[in-house]
Amino acid sequence: MLDELLKCAKEAALLAGGIIKEGFGTSFKIENKEGKNNLVTEYDKLSEEAIINKITSFFPDHKFLAEESGKSGFQNSDNIRWLIDPLDGTVNFAHQLPIFSVSIAAELNKELLVGVIYNPILDELFYAKKGGGAFMNDSRISVSSTSSLDTSFLVTGFPYNVDKDPGYCVEQFISIIRRGIPIRRLGSAALDLAYVANGRFDGFWEIELKPWDVAAGVLLVREAGGLVTQYNNEHYWVEDLSMLATNGKIHEEISATLQSCFIELSNGN
């Protein structure tokens, strides 16, 4: 069953990646979903439609939680649920910056079964199945071996309501960058996680991510030997508010730093 799910997820990601790659750099319709900068393009929608059609052709009874169309499929059963981000990095895509991906995962009863992230520009296909390790383009991948926060290479992201500084995310960023640690902000949470899984980054954190942003990446990081928790080091599920994903070795140090900033600020220090 896992192999069939993975085959389906890979086919869907490659198909959708082809669609958004074709649209990249052309003139297309861009709308604002909410606030000032939460964009959606016609390619987000085309990609999502292609993914759902592909999955339905394999598994007509499965259910979906997809970013643009919401919940659909056979909801009132124990059926597998697909978590779909048809274009992660829409703001980059809309500004012709070639950093974006397709992210597809399947879960059952809060257990991630398969996950696929595809970057169509670099033709990098990341995938994992539960208990089967993590891969990029058919080569096994694993997290980095960096063991101290001060020599780490990190990535983070900010939610669309960053102007409200939810969870003191701006101060947390400052507290780490002030130490002289290089931090990137790529704009695709799925790629951030894929790059922790293959060791390009040592760690990634972000608040208020959605299940479709992270589901595939969380499985990838875990199957590549890394650790994913909430900021406070507690068990993480894709609906939780905060997420910290690392190679495992720097996890406690970064978790303590993120928390101390939160605690200090909530005490008014």
What residues make contact with ligand IPD under the rule CB under 6 A? 85, 88-91, 157-159, 187-189, 206, 209, 213
Mask 213-232, x = binds Ca ion (CB under 5 A)? x-------------------
Our finding on whether 88 is near Ca ion (CB under 5 A) is yes
Q: Which does 257 bind (CB under 5 to 8 A by kind): Ca ion, ligand IPD, none?
A: none
> For residues 5 and 191, which CB has a smaller minimum distance to Ca ion in the complex?
191
Strand order in the sheet with 134-136: 70-73, 63-66, 81-88, 101-108, 111-119, 124-129, 134-136, 139-141
> For residues 85 and 192, which CB has a smaller minimum distance to Ca ion in the complex?
85
> For residues 67 and 223, which CB has a smaller minimum distance to Ca ion in the complex?
67
> For residues 167 and 187, which CB has a smaller minimum distance to ligand IPD in the complex?
187
> For residues 206 and 223, which CB has a smaller minimum distance to ligand IPD in the complex?
206
Q: Which does 159 bind (CB under 5 to 8 A by kind): ligand IPD, Ca ion, none?
A: ligand IPD
Least separation, in Å, of the C-beta of 159 and ligand IPD?
5
Least separation, in Å, of the C-beta of 177 and ligand IPD?
16
> For residues 89 and 120, which CB has a smaller minimum distance to ligand IPD in the complex?
89
Cα separation, 251 vs 262, whole angstroms: 17
Residue nearest to ligand IPD according to CB distances in the complex: 157
Distance between the two ends of the chain, CA-based, in angstroms?
A: 53
Helix 211-223 to helix 189-197 angle (10° resolution) is: 0
Residues in binding contact with Ca ion, number by CB under 5 A: 5
- Of 19-27, 67-75, 121-129, 165-173, the segment contacting Ca ion by CB under 5 A is 67-75
As a three-state string, the secondary structure of the chain is CHHHHHHHHHHHHHHHHHHHHHHCCCCCCEEEEECCCEEEEHHHHHHHHHHHHHHHHHCCCCEEEECCCEEEECCCCCCCEEEEEEEECHHHHHCCCCCCEEEEEEEECCEEEEEEEEECCCCEEEEEECCCCEEECCEEECCCCCCCHHHCCEEECCCCCHHHCHHHHHHHHHHHHCCCCCEECCCCHHHHHHHHHCCCCCEEEEECCCHHHHHHHHHHHHHCCCEEECCCCCECCCCCCEEEEECCCCHHHHHHHHHHHHHHHHCCC
> For residues 167 and 211, which CB has a smaller minimum distance to Ca ion in the complex?
211
Mask 185-214, x = binds Ca ion (CB under 5 A)? ----------------------------x-
Least separation, in Å, of the C-beta of 145 and ligand IPD?
26
Q: Which does 107 bind (CB under 5 to 8 A by kind): Ca ion, ligand IPD, none?
A: none
**Positions in the binding site for Ca ion (CB under 5 A):** 67, 85, 87-88, 213
